[in-house]
Amino acid sequence: MSDPAPNKPNKSKKIVATGGWTKAGATANRYTPPPTPPPIPKAKPQQPQHPPSLLDKVKNAVGSYASRGIAQDKRCDEETKKVRSISCHGDSERGIAPCEFRRDSKAEEGRFYCGECGCGDRAATWLNAKQPEDYTKLDFPKVVCPLNMPGFSNYTPASEETVERRMKYNFTRKEQIERQVDLTIKKTDEKS
């Protein structure tokens, strides 16, 4: 007596499909990939970002007005003002867009102010002059920018910005301006 061996070729086996097949046929049960997971939310800064406090605004304003001098006519040098102007207004010839936080003044048509620093829309804080004698925010010898852009007293190179600030602000424009300023400096150095 010999037991039928399971692997003998003359013995046929019945194959039974058990994995969710339906009577409707195999076409109804084609493989479907698992649903795609929801997008990963953007990382949030480790420390909450707050607008400048009233004390910070007062300190910055006092520093700026003190830098203007007793006669109220001290101005930064022209090169610094040009770099500040590019930081705020951009430069279409160089392909640099205006700052995303530059706002149109509601107080006077044709004027601009910074919508990020909290200084408001008024004559002392406008970013552009209509007349050469106008004293704008960009004329102060000492003035800060919330993005720490080139030309401002608190300028920080884009490569040295913190992770928290990089998550809050896009520094592409800053990097572009830094490249443009470096080109200008190299050209100036080559002439001397």
pLDDT digits (tens, 9 = 90+) for 169-188: 999 999 999 988 754 544 33
pLDDT for 187: 39
pLDDT for 132: 84
**Residue 55 to residue 139: CA distance in whole angstroms:** 23
DSSP codes, 15-40: ----SS--TT-GGGG---PPPPPPPP
pLDDT for 180: 85
Q: What tokens appear for 162 in the block? A: 């913190």
Phi, psi (rounded to 5 degrees) for 181: -65, -40
pLDDT for 119: 84
**Positions in the chain whose pLDDT score sits under 50:** 43-49, 183, 185-192
pLDDT for 29: 55
pLDDT for 83: 93
pLDDT for 11: 58
Nearest 5°: CA angle at 189, between 188 and 192? 90
pLDDT for 170: 92
Q: Are 172 and 180 contacting, i.e. CB atoms less than 8 angstroms apart?
A: no
**Residue 120 to residue 123: CA distance in whole angstroms:** 9
